[in-house]
Amino acid sequence: MEVFYNQGVENTRLISDVERLIESLGPLPEPVAEPAFIVVSGLPGTGKSHFCGCLAERLPVVVLESDALRKALFSSPDYSSQESSRLFQACHLLIERLLKRGISLIFDATNLSERNREHFYSIAERLDVKLILVRVEAPPQVVYQRLMARGEDSQGKSDADWTVYRRMKPAVDKIRRNHYAVDTSRDITPVLDKIVRQVAR
């Protein structure tokens, strides 16, 4: 009996978490018949959010940025494994809800492990939506400079610093599916163009 009660409490909390995340998004783009699901992966400081912002200027999508969503859910995040598990459970359900409504989206998070990316593969297959994978990278010296500058910006959404980057670097798994690779220390326009064309196809 207690197991069912706990599951009920967890489900209620999950639905409540998703509703809070939806409220934090602001206006959503118009639904389309064939929504696109773009998953962006990369270490802190590699330029994921900049890349996603540039893509969102060219496509009618909502950007789900894990750092911003975490702070919408937890006012003082502690980045514990329990907190991350609760956040990503809510993110997975949020992604499903938006795609079912025909809302194209970009999911911007580190997404470093293939095991975690499997969740996105299965959502895309189950809902039969176009999945586009992007690996964002930059040379370590560029990342270092960006993260040092970020540390001086108290308004930033991410709290990751150079220590976090170095700790996470060994955890990067190769993406085993077709994906775009973009180095944000160079011109990102060619990759943006290719993704815009793929979404339009």
Per-position pLDDT tens, the chain of length 201: 444 445 666 789 999 999 999 999 999 999 999 999 999 999 999 999 999 999 999 999 999 999 999 999 999 999 999 999 999 999 999 999 999 999 999 999 999 999 999 999 999 999 999 999 999 999 999 999 999 988 766 555 777 899 999 999 999 999 999 999 999 999 999 999 999 999 998
What is the CA angle 160-112-71, rounded to 5? Answer: 40
Confidence (pLDDT) at 3: 44
For residues 61 and 87, what is the distance between their CA atoms, to the nearest angstrom? 21
CB 81 within 8 A of CB 70: no
Under CATH, which architecture does the 2-21+35-200 domain have? Answer: 3-Layer(aba) Sandwich (3.40)
Confidence (pLDDT) at 134: 98
Confidence (pLDDT) at 201: 87
18: tokens are 């998703």
Confidence (pLDDT) at 2: 46
The full set of domain ranges for the chain reads 2-21+35-200
